[in-house]
């Protein structure tokens, strides 16, 4: 797959667009993710003409409404300008498969941004630009650079990006009832690891050419919502054991015992997820199964990212 288009706050790529003229270059983003993602940088504060450097802004609750105003000059209200900037970016954002935002930013923060009321800050806000972005594209995988330091959140975001990219590729090729059900089959085990997949299966059972668009919209909305849940070990164990069932006629007693032991060691946190997955791949090379071969669960993204090595 070619590089995936991802929106990003410009400062995270090392662009000197911060209020103080500096940047917040993120080594993981620039050094690792740039190998797989085609970044589309944007700074809404610069876009609305605040300049570099510029007066600092923050979120303030005024008459039960959150506004973005100057810290030294509260009369400088840029709320509507930031919303208009997000509106102007809608067309450019339509092809994106994900977005990485700058944490704590009154324009770009995804969550827990300080909101001041009576001079007392509470971490309950969302950046004005970020909020508009997520409203315009509710299915778009969005994350903050700070949260990418957590292995579970990082893996979750990147997995969602790859699923969404494959969905967009499917739409570009031309959606059919058959291609939709095939997409689900390829992602069923991933969905199972995140939560209940049965509602999606029931939805697709009634798909026809006449209701295809409506069913597809409902389906991908359910998928992207379920995938937001970070997978825990018990859920992975459940899927690993499910996959193991496809080998019940192929494994001898010793191989079955070894696989059960490895899965149990993963459950106990003694080995990372890559260990049972590697062993399963070994057995399926000897006993191929079309369903497992087409599934993305054991290879959800390029193995060079090594994300499951840390889970």
Is the model's pLDDT at 303 over the cut of 90? no
Question: Sheet holding 57-62: strands in order across?
Answer: 65-70, 57-62, 113-117, 120-125
Same domain, 104 and 177: no
Say what the pLDDT of residue 118 is.
Answer: 81
Q: Which of 149, 164, 199 is the last residue of a domain?
A: 149
Same domain, 127 and 174: no
Is the model's pLDDT at 281 over the cut of 70? yes
Q: With pLDDT > 70 as the criterion, what percentage of the chain qualifies?
A: 100
* Alpha-carbon distance values, 78 to 47, 74, 117, 257 (Å): 12, 10, 18, 64
Domain that holds residue 186: 155-311
Say what the pLDDT of residue 308 is.
Answer: 82
Q: Which of 93, 121, 149 is the last residue of a domain?
A: 149
Is the model's pLDDT at 119 over the cut of 80? no
Q: Are strands 65-70 and 4-9 parallel, antiparallel or unpaired?
A: unpaired
Count: domains in the chain: 2
Same domain, 211 and 175: yes
Q: Which of 93, 122, 149 is the last residue of a domain?
A: 149
Same domain, 98 and 8: yes
Same domain, 217 and 84: no
Is the model's pLDDT at 265 over the cut of 80? yes
Same domain, 109 and 160: no
Q: What is the mean pLDDT of the chain?
A: 96
Say what the pLDDT of residue 243 is.
Answer: 97
| Peptide linkage before 17 cis (omega within 30 of 0) | no
> pLDDT band at residue 98, thresholds of 50, 70 and 90?
very high
> pLDDT band at residue 158, thresholds of 50, 70 and 90?
very high
- Is the backbone of residue 167 left (phi > 0), alpha (psi -120 to 50) or beta? alpha
Length of the chain: 311
Same domain, 106 and 75: yes
pLDDT in tens, 14-23: 999 999 999 9
Same domain, 201 and 300: yes
Is the model's pLDDT at 275 over the cut of 70? yes
Say what the pLDDT of residue 1 is.
Answer: 67
Torsion of CA 210, 211, 214, 218, to 10 degrees: -150
Same domain, 181 and 262: yes
């Amino acid at each position: 797959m070619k590089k995936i288009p991802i929106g990003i706050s410009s400062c995270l790529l090392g662009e000197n667009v911060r209020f103080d003229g500096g940047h917040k270059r993120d080594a993981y983003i620039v050094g690792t993710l740039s190998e797989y993602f085609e970044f589309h940088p944007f700074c809404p504060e610069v876009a609305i003409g605040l300049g570099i450097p510029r007066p600092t802004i923050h979120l303030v609750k005024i008459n039960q409404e959150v506004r973005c105003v100057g810290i030294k000059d509260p009369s400088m209200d840029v709320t509507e300008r930031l919303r208009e900037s997000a509106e102007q970016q809608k067309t450019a954002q339509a092809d994106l498969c994900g977005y990485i935002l700058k944490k704590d930013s009154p324009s770009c923060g995804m969550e827990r941004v300080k909101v001041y009321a009576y001079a007392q800050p509470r971490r309950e806000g969302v950046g004005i630009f970020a909020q508009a972005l997520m409203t315009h594209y509710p299915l778009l995988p969005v994350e903050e650079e700070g949260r990418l330091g957590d292995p579970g959140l990082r893996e979750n975001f990147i997995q969602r990006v790859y699923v969404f990219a494959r969905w967009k590729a499917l739409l570009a090729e031309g959606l059919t009832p058959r291609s939709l059900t095939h997409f689900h089959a390829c992602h069923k085990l991933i969905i199972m690891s995140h939560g209940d997949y049965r509602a999606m299966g029931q939805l697709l059972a009634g798909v026809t050419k006449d209701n295809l668009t409506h069913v597809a919209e409902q389906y991908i909305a359910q998928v992207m919502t379920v995938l937001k849940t970070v997978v825990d070990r018990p859920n992975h164990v459940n899927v690993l054991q499910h996959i193991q069932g496809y080998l019940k006629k192929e494994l001898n007693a010793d191989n079955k015992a070894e696989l059960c032991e490895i899965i149990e060691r993963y459950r106990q946190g003694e080995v990372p997820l890559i260990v049972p997955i590697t062993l399963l791949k070994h057995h399926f090379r000897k006993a191929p199964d079309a369903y497992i071969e087409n599934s993305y669960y054991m290879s959800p993204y390029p193995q060079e990212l090594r994300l499951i090595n840390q889970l």
